[in-house]
Amino acid sequence: MPGAVPVKHGGDRLIAVGGEGTPEVAELCFGELAIALEKGVIATRHLAGDVLNLRHRLPLTWARVLGGECEPWAALKAAKLSRPLDRDRVGLVDRAVAAAVGEGPQRMLTVAEAKVIEADPDAHRARIAAEDAKTGVWLSRTRAGDAVDVLDAQPGTRRINARLPIGTAVEIDAVLDDLADALAEHAEPTDGEEKPSRRELRAQAFELLSRPHDAVAFLDGLDPAEHADRDEPAGGVKPRGRRRSAVLHVHLSALALRALGGDGVSGVARVEGLGPLLLEQLTVLLRHREIRLQPVIDLNTIQTVTAYEHPTVMRQRVLLRHAAGDGFPHSASATGLSSRVDLDHATPYDSSGPPGQPAQTSGQTSDLNTTPLTRAHHRTKTHTGGYQVHPLGLAAHRWVTPHGLARVVTPHGTTRVELIRARDGTIHGELYPHPAHLQLQLALT
């Protein structure tokens, strides 16, 4: 600008605070903005970068934010996660995140994380390699006052922190669980003493591992006949037992399956409890496990039984259809498959319901008439009174609250709807909002 102080004399200049494709901004503009936001200048600059990334690099997600359909903080987090990607790759993240907005913030960010990895797997491999160089185990240092601190006194304990590869960390966690189970089973009962808690048993197991010879002696004495039917190998070395089995719910897309076929395509697996992993990470995770192939679960299967309890296979199908794990409207509980949820009969169970009637109206136990709920949400629906839940299809339910709020819940999230009622109040259907964001997405893809 005419009359402006040259940059070499400390004047203002244009800088990039966002990722590729975002406009440059004046470097010195952040001072007053920081005062207005009551933040530091550096924090304000980072926030501005996230907003620019969201506005210019994730336009579909930005449209959902402007429409009041998405939590701004979650959208900004997705923009931050995808910042390292170039403009050609970030579109994959934008389309997936915008489609997952209705599934809740945690599920949306899980999708964003997986798509960032899928968009540039080589960059993620570089991140893994850099992280491997930071692994280690550390004993916490004592500080003056730790022994008598009012809030967090540690008069007789110390912390051990470990940073390990995913597969190693999971394996150690499983070993501690196994040892804790063995200690609980073989502990000598003492009169007047309470049984140790699970946390205490795991601490005892960890302590036992600090004495390797005692740990080996304890494990060898658990079941002397375990290896009696096996041939002892040459050299007199006894086998230490069979490999630990694992049950993993792994979600693979068609792209990932092509990668398994060796055509050079990289794939990402979403592992419950661990998040998205590259397929080579999944291989490392399973290297010491006994793997049993199970039949593919067809999520289009519809089964009806007269018993109140849900068969195991039906429970698996229901949970797999509900990716987030909780079917309550607007639920933020991303429980997943590995957490405990109740399977609720949308239409209350009727032990005398005729099997020939549709499962969603007869109150029978079926794929159509079942939705997973956390215990708190299950209690709310069952004991508050007035909730009406009507199955619309597999993993799709219409909820009407005691005060008449209507929502349709699917694996893609919760949608506000208007009820179509007869004069007597009978519900005949629902009206959905105009899906403008879906039209925008289709137009840009």
- Nearest to residue 275, comparing CAs of 424, 118, 429? 118
Above 90 in pLDDT, residue 398?
A: yes
pLDDT at residue 218 greater than cutoff 80: yes
Residue 391 predicted with pLDDT over 60: yes
Q: What is the 3-state secondary structure (H, E, C) of the chain?
A: CCCCCCHHHCCCCEECCCCCCCCCEEHHHHHHHHHHHCCCHHHHHHHHHHHHHHHHHCHHHHHHHHCCCCCHHHHHHHHHHCCCCCHHHHHHHHHHHHHCHHHCHHHHHHHHHHHHHHHCHHHHHHHHHHHHCCCEEEECCCCCCCCCCCCCCCCCCCCEEEECCHHHHHHHHHHHHHHHHHHHHHCCCCCCCCCCCHHHHHHHHHHHHCCHHHHHHHHHCCCCCCCCCCCCCHHHCCCCCCCEECCCCEECCHHHHHHHCCCCCCCEEEECCCEEEEHHHHHHHCCCEECCCCCCCCCCCCCEECCCCCCHHHHHHHHHHCCCCCCCCCCCCCCCCCCCCEEEECCCCCCCCCCCCCHHHHCCEECCCEEEECHHHHHHHHHHCCCEEEEEECCEEEEECCCCCEEEEECCEEEECEEEECCCCCEEEEECCCCHHHHHHHHHC
Burial 198-227, CB ≥16 within 10 A → b, else e:
eeebbebbeebeeeeeebeeeeeeeeeeee
Q: What is the model's pLDDT at position 9?
A: 73
Q: Which residue has the higher pLDDT, 117 or 266?
A: 117
What mean pLDDT do residues 114-121 have? 91
CA gap 437, 256 in Å, rounded: 28
Band the pLDDT of 234: cuts 50, 70, 90: very low
Distance in angstroms (rounded) separating the CA atoms of residues 185 and 219: 12
Confidence class for position 103, pLDDT limits 50, 70, 90: confident
pTM: 0.67
**What is the reported pLDDT for 435?**
53
Size of the chain, expressed as the number of residues it contains: 445
Please state the φ and ψ torsions of residue 159, each to the nearest 5 degrees.
-100, 145
Burial of 341 (0-12, 13-18, 19+ CB in 10 A): buried
On average, the pLDDT of the chain sits at 81
Say if residue 39's pLDDT is above 80.
yes
18 pLDDT more than 80: yes
C-alpha closest to that of 410 among 440, 430, 427: 430
pLDDT-derived band at 188, boundaries 50, 70, 90:
confident
Residue 437 pLDDT: 43
In this prediction, residue 251 has a pLDDT band, given cuts at 50, 70 and 90, of low
Contact at 8 Å (CB) between 85 and 251?
A: no
Mean pLDDT of 125-129: 90
Res 181 pLDDT > 80: yes
* Mean pLDDT value of segment 2-17: 82
What is the Rg, in whole angstroms, of the alpha carbon atoms belonging to the chain?
Answer: 28
Task: Give dist(CA 269, CA 280) in Å, integer.
Answer: 10
Tell me what pLDDT residue 97 has.
94
> 395, 321 in Cβ contact below 8 A?
yes
Mean pLDDT in residue range 105-127:
90
- Phi and psi of 135, rounded to 5°? -70, 155
**Type of residue numbered 43:** A
Instruction: Return the pLDDT at 388.
Output: 92
- CA 294 to chain CA centroid, Å, is 23
Residue with tokens 């002892």: 232
Neighbours of 120 (CB within 10 A): 19
Residue 231 pLDDT greater than 60, yes or no: no
| pLDDT per position as a tens digit, 328-354 | 988 876 555 555 789 999 888 876 665
**CB within 8 Å of 431: residues ≥ 6 apart:** 417, 418, 419, 420
